[in-house]
């Protein structure tokens, strides 16, 4: 892909990584991703904002063959998908220097030890860098999603370069997001897995950005937001909005006993006007689970007993929940056993660090009998009342 013009003085460089399927050896990328790099051509100086994943360096370096000089490399985030090609750019432009945050400099040197420390200049929160007729103002936006992350704001054109903040893992040749629902879905998936665990920082950084007029947001993954409100309002809703009248049920079932409990509870919840989203953990992706956690008010874990323990797939789901830190205030457990309930106590211990309001557990010896169904109805009623008490009705 050749460089593409965003404005008269800004080009989009970088890589569309159509084939990438996983990030951090954890996060599935159903739609690939992009590593965006931005070239700013001021009247006096030229700056490159972020680079690309080191395995894709050759694409960026080919694009730079058309660029005679780069004075400044602005590094907004030390993670290698954005910083990994900085050493090659420094080598190609021997007079260039890196501008980055105070916290990022040592991280860059740890991750890319080939960089000469004397070629890294640190900037303070609110500091500015002049390119002549263009000026970048640096805005520290920590913990979206590493401690050193910052954004850069182009004062003359009201453009925010946000790096991972507001990004989407979406390989597309479409340069602008417009108000495309596919971009929003991809953005929500990205938020769910990367930003959701840090939503308090997301909120603080959204507040910080309220002081700026923003006409365009250029993230380092996915399309550019030419209608910033499209993504800003979505982030505000996801980070600050209330959870919904929704119950999420991650479940696993070996001989359908737990599945019958899940189905009965689902029906009972639906009768009370509550949205229910079950996920069979044999096939559900981390992305599906994390995305549902943005909205759910109650999480009901469901698993049979396997060798005296919860099924490992459910144990994984609890670990994921601990990582994601969903806003859901309520948590419960339902499940079956063959000859003894040895799981409830273990689930209670595993769920304790999640700091949720724990609902009564419901267990069944084999298939749910009438007494168990009554307990499931009681559980559904209790969820309905708890949601109603909190005003969660939508």
Provide the binding-site residues for ligand FEO, judged by CB under 6 A: 77, 79, 81-82, 145, 164, 220-221
Length of the chain: 394
Taking the complex as a whole, the smallest distance from the CB of residue 51 to ligand FEO amounts, in Å, to 11
Q: Is 280 helix (H, G, I), strand (E, B) or coil?
A: strand
CB nearer to ligand FEO: pick between 46 and 51: 51
Angle between helices 228-240 and 181-190 (to 10 degrees): 40
Angle between helices 199-209 and 228-240 (to 10 degrees): 140
Taking the complex as a whole, the smallest distance from the CB of residue 10 to ligand FEO amounts, in Å, to 20
Taking the complex as a whole, the smallest distance from the CB of residue 287 to ligand FEO amounts, in Å, to 16
Alpha helices, DSSP H, located in the chain: 57-63, 80-83, 86-92, 104-111, 181-190, 199-209, 228-240, 257-271, 286-295, 312-324, 344-351, 370-389
Q: Look up residue 175 and give its two tokens.
A: 């340069």
Kindly report the backbone phi and psi dihedral angles of residue 381, in degrees, each rounded to the nearest multiple of 5, phi listed first: -65, -40
Residue holding tokens 């981390």?
Answer: 286
Taking the complex as a whole, the smallest distance from the CB of residue 326 to ligand FEO amounts, in Å, to 21
Rounded to whole angstroms, how far apart are CA atoms 239 and 357?
Answer: 20
CB nearer to ligand FEO: pick between 20 and 327: 20
CB nearer to ligand FEO: pick between 42 and 142: 142
Beta bridge partners of 129: 136
Taking the complex as a whole, the smallest distance from the CB of residue 78 to ligand FEO amounts, in Å, to 8
Q: Look up residue 273 and give its two tokens.
A: 């006007």
Taking the complex as a whole, the smallest distance from the CB of residue 277 to ligand FEO amounts, in Å, to 28
CB nearer to ligand FEO: pick between 79 and 375: 79
CB nearer to ligand FEO: pick between 306 and 323: 323
Residue of closest CB approach to ligand FEO: 79
Q: Look up residue 335 and give its two tokens.
A: 């499940």
CB nearer to ligand FEO: pick between 86 and 315: 86
Taking the complex as a whole, the smallest distance from the CB of residue 64 to ligand FEO amounts, in Å, to 20
Taking the complex as a whole, the smallest distance from the CB of residue 341 to ligand FEO amounts, in Å, to 43
Following DSSP, what letter does each residue of 42-78 receive, concatenated? -SS-EEEE----GGGHHHHHHHGGG-----EEEES--
Taking the complex as a whole, the smallest distance from the CB of residue 181 to ligand FEO amounts, in Å, to 23
State how beta strands 362-365 and 330-337 pair: parallel
Could you tell me if 239 and 203 are in contact, meaning their C-beta atoms sit under 8 angstroms apart? yes
CB nearer to ligand FEO: pick between 14 and 335: 14
Q: Look up residue 193 and give its two tokens.
A: 């897995």
**Sign of the torsion formed by the C-alpha atoms of 353, 354, 355 and 359:** negative
Rounded to whole angstroms, how far apart are CA atoms 262 and 246?
Answer: 15
CB nearer to ligand FEO: pick between 82 and 327: 82
Residue 333: CB atoms within 10 Å? 25
CB nearer to ligand FEO: pick between 287 and 335: 287
């Amino acid at each position: 892909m050749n460089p593409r013009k965003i404005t008269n003085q800004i080009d989009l460089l970088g890589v569309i990584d159509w084939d990438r399927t996983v990030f951090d050896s954890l996060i599935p990328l159903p739609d690939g991703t992009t590593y965006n790099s931005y070239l700013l051509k001021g009247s006096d100086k030229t700056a490159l904002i972020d680079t690309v994943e080191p395995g894709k360096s050759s694409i960026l370096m080919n694009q730079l063959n058309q660029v005679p000089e780069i004075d400044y490399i602005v590094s907004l985030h030390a993670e290698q998908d954005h910083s990994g090609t900085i050493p090659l750019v420094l080598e190609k432009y021997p007079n260039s220097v890196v501008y980055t945050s105070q916290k990022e400099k040592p991280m860059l040197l740890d991750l890319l030890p080939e960089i000469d420390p004397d070629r890294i200049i640190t900037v303070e929160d609110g500091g500015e860098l002049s390119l002549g007729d263009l000026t970048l103002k640096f805005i520290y936006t920590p913990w979206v999603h590493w401690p050193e992350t910052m954004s850069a704001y182009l004062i003359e054109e009201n453009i925010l370069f946000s790096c991972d903040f507001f990004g989407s893992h979406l390989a597309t040749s479409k340069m602008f997001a417009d108000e495309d629902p596919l971009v929003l879905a991809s953005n929500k998936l990205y938020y769910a897995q990367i930003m959701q665990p840090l939503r308090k920082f997301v909120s603080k950084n959204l507040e910080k950005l309220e002081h700026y007029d923003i006409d365009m947001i250029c993230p380092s993954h996915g399309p550019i937001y030419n209608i910033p409100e499209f993504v800003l309002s979505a982030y505000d809703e996801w980070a600050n909005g209330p959870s919904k009248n929704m119950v999420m049920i991650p479940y696993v079932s070996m001989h359908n006993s737990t599945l019958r409990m899940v189905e009965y509870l689902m029906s009972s919840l639906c009768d009370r006007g509550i949205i229910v989203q079950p996920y069979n953990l044999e096939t559900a992706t981390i992305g599906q689970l994390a995305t549902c956690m943005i909205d759910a008010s109650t999480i009901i874990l469901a698993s049979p007993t396997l060798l005296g323990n919860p099924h490992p797939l459910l144990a994984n789901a609890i670990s994921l929940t601990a990582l994601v830190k969903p806003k859901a205030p309520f948590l419960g457990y339902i499940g079956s056993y063959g000859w003894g309930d040895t799981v409830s106590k273990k689930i209670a211990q595993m769920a304790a660090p999640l700091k949720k309001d724990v609902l009564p557990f419901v267990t069944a010896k084999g298939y749910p009998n009438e007494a168990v169904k009554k307990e499931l109805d009681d559980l559904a009623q209790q969820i309905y009342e708890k949601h109603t008490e909190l005003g969660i009705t939508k």
